[in-house]
Amino acid sequence: MSSFLLQHARLLDPTSETDRTADVLIVDGVIHAVEETIAAFPSEAEVRDCTGLVLGTGLVDLYSHSGEPGFEDRETLHSLMAAAQAGGFTRLALLPDTHPAVDNPSGVEWLRSQVGGEGRGKGGSVPQLYQWGALTLGAKGEHMTELMELAEAGVVGFADGQPIASGSLLRRLLEYGQMLQKPIALYCCDRGLAGNGAVREGLESIRLGLPASPAIAETVPLAALLECITEIKTPVHLMRVSTARGVELIRSAKAQGLPITASTTWMHLLLNVTAAKSYNPSLHLDPPIGNPTDQAALLQGIQDGTIDAIAIDHTPLTYEEKTVAFSESPAGAIGLELALPLLWQTFVASGQWTALSLWHSLSSNPARCLHQTPPSLTPGQPAELILFDPQKSWKVAPETLKSRSSNTPWLGQEIQGRVLQL
């Protein structure tokens, strides 16, 4: 029997709106007791003083990218899981755009064979991996997959992670997906309107001399999708919301009772196009980082519930791929190990957000978007918990990161806040 007594920790559990200091006793991986002071505990229990540390429910990432299979030089499943664990993520949902794409049951079975059991690391380690099944063959947006077969194989839901340009195909997917009772996540982007835009269109993009993508590249397909949902009533999760107008459209749609949830990515909350003056290719994202008005609208959307969750969209890319001109680099940045400390320092430590507000967006709400029961800090529940030190400083470097890739604009910088081994 293994047992741990964590004393004087700051407990964060958004499911019960808990933010208080208490002791927690964990026995054989299950929360045994949560009390202000625990005096009676097994003699063999490992006792740890957690004064100044946060003990929170595990974080849940809605969508990120795995390099394996097909791009192991970017990321393997082993390094991905290590990065997720180092960042406090106990559940991780993987997009299907690997090579080959996860567009049939064999891809789901392969992942299960690699990580063991029900998407849990071998030996029972965290995080739990979940697989999005592709909506279309090869995640190319052209031909619908056998959704029922993928559902029976155990995918967490359906997403390409890429836009679906065909309106007729989108309609068929929504109609057929309605009966499957699994999340459907869609990315609204008109590639024709976006062109080769590497940042959001506006005065700053002109000053920087960078190719720009207009806001309507998001809002035109978003408005069309909302019309389809109004007609068909299929619940949909809206991925990667990045514009102020997009937030307005979603707020209006929710007020009308449409069955939608929405997420933005952590970097779109932290940064706007003014950061691109460094021309760091790791700031080239998809969707591109927005104007200050976009960033402000996304932050307000998180606060008022228009945007349900913060996704990481961890996108590992090699040094060679990213060491090119800004607009010529492939879009994407890593984030699993960086999101919690940077979001905490920017919004919680500054007093802009409460700690529970951040935990709602990173833990309980993403779980609900995946139609899962959120992790809980309740006696009798599995100890799906993380221990976070908001004061611990560390330097972001290839040797301190668990990810195989280091494509992040914070590379070489000292940041504050790190997840500790529980």
pLDDT band, very low/low/confident/very high, at 258 (cuts 50, 70, 90): very high
**pLDDT for res 121:** 38
313 is an active site residue: yes
pLDDT band, very low/low/confident/very high, at 126 (cuts 50, 70, 90): confident
Mean of per-residue pLDDT scores for the chain: 96
Element (H, E) at 31: strand 30-35
Q: Annotated catalytic residue: which of 13, 97, 294, 313?
A: 313
Strand bridging mode 18-27 / 30-35: antiparallel
- Domain coverage including residue 218: 58-376
pLDDT of 328-356, one tens digit each?
999 999 999 999 999 999 999 999 999 99
Q: Answer yes or no: is 329 within a domain.
A: yes
Q: Answer yes or no: is 399 within a domain.
A: no
* Among candidate residues 190, 96, 197, the one with its CA nearest the CA of residue 140: 96
DSSP states of 214-251: -THHHHHHHHHHHHHHHHH---EEEE----HHHHHHHH
Q: Answer yes or no: is 74 within a domain.
A: yes
pLDDT band, very low/low/confident/very high, at 257 (cuts 50, 70, 90): very high
CATH, residue 234: 3.20.20.140
Q: Answer yes or no: is 345 within a domain.
A: yes
DSSP states of 141-178: SSSB--HHHHHHHT-SEE--SS----HHHHHHHHHHHG
Residue 395 has pLDDT above 80, yes or no: yes
Residue 189 has pLDDT above 60, yes or no: yes
Q: Answer yes or no: is 315 within a domain.
A: yes
For the chain, what is the total number of helices (H) and then of strands (E)?
14, 17
Q: Answer yes or no: is 415 within a domain.
A: no
Question: What predicted TM-score, i.e. pTM, was given to this entire model?
Answer: 0.96
Q: What is the 3-state secondary structure (H, E, C) of 270-316?
A: HCCHHHHHHCCHHHCCCCCCCCHHHHHHHHHHHHHCCCCEEECCCCC
Bridge-partner residues for 19, per DSSP? 12
pLDDT of 46-73, one tens digit each?
999 999 999 999 999 999 999 999 999 9
Q: Answer yes or no: is 19 within a domain.
A: no
Residue 13, both tokens:
């559990």
- Report how far residue 142's alpha carbon sits from residue 159's, in angstroms, rounded to the nearest whole number: 13
- Report how far residue 324's alpha carbon sits from residue 89's, in angstroms, rounded to the nearest whole number: 31
Alpha-carbon dihedral of residues 186, 190, 194, 195, nearest 10 degrees?
120
**pLDDT for res 421:** 86
Number of residues written out for the chain: 422
pLDDT band, very low/low/confident/very high, at 14 (cuts 50, 70, 90): very high
SS3 content of the chain, % helix, strand, coil (to 5): 35, 25, 40
Long-range contacts formed by 34-39: CB under 8 A, 24+ apart: 34/377, 34/378, 34/379, 38/5, 38/7
* Among candidate residues 264, 271, 307, 277, the one with its CA nearest the CA of residue 289: 271
Q: Answer yes or no: is 280 within a domain.
A: yes
Residue 119 has pLDDT above 80, yes or no: no
Give the residue-averaged pLDDT of 260-287: 98
- Report how far residue 183's alpha carbon sits from residue 62's, in angstroms, rounded to the nearest whole number: 11
Residue 296, both tokens:
């402000």
Tell me how many domains the chain contains. 1
Q: Give the whole-number percent of the chain exceeding pLDDT 90.
A: 95
Residue 97, both tokens:
């755009």
- Work out the number of other CB atoms within 10 angstroms of the CB of residue 320: 8
Give the residue-averaged pLDDT of 172-201: 97
**pLDDT for res 171:** 97
Rg, the chain, Cα only: 21
Give the residue-averaged pLDDT of 87-116: 95
pLDDT band, very low/low/confident/very high, at 125 (cuts 50, 70, 90): very low
